[in-house]
Amino acid sequence: MTTAAAIRMQESALDPKHAVHDHTIAAGEPYLVAIEKGQTLRLVDLEGNQAIDALFYSRDQVGERYSATQTMLSQGGIYLTTDSVLMSNEGRTMLTIVADTCGRHDTLGGACASESNQVRYALGKKYMHSCRDNFLLALQRADIGLGKRDLAPNVNFFMNVPVTPDGGLKFEDGVSAAGKYVELRAEMALWLLISNCPQLNNPCNGYNPTAAQVLVWD
């Protein structure tokens, strides 16, 4: 498996005016939405340098979820871009990236949590907002049969986490910019669970979390 990312930029022909769903997620907030098979989903980095942590679950069988391991193995690399396929823990295709104006998205950095905030930054950072807490809050509100044990390694759209020569990970400034987007076609009916990352302690959000947009087309 290679860490190299062949960045494949691809513009979309879809017009936001024709979207059947258009939602802006406030800075640092969670969001859960149902996506139908065949629909196209666009995630937009509205102001630039904003990480969007995302998990996907099959709506027909919620035990089937996005698998970082299966996804990396299927494409022989650790970054996502145009034509990348997101796989489930059952080895089935969940989504295909059909357009991407950012060019690279992270599969390794995971979601920030109160525990990692404390370990990485300071004891007093434990009680800051985190993506893990966002995920749990959205699932509790929705009451769709998913909870803490269903959280798994997630995709970090627009996040820049290079691998160091000795095999470590670094959280660096994003490679995105205002208005950049990634577009995915759903290959099955899905739940999309998002944490619009609230992290203030590393540069994944430029130390200033901002809003993000979710668009869906039939």
User: How far from 92 is each of 10, 33, 71, 186, 215, CA to CA, in Å?
Assistant: 24, 21, 10, 12, 24
Mean pLDDT for all residues in the chain: 89
Residue 80 has pLDDT above 80, yes or no: yes
Q: In angstroms, how far apart are the furthest CA atoms of the chain?
A: 48
pLDDT at 116 (0 to 100):
53
Average pLDDT over residues 196-215: 85
Give the C-alpha separation, 197 to 157, whole Å.
Answer: 10
Higher pLDDT, 8 or 211: 211
Tokens for 198? 């609230």
pLDDT digits (tens, 9 = 90+) for 133-184: 999 999 999 999 999 999 999 999 998 877 878 877 767 777 899 999 999 9
Provide the residue ranges of all domains of the chain, joining segments of one domain with +. Answer: 28-217
Average pLDDT over residues 8-25: 96
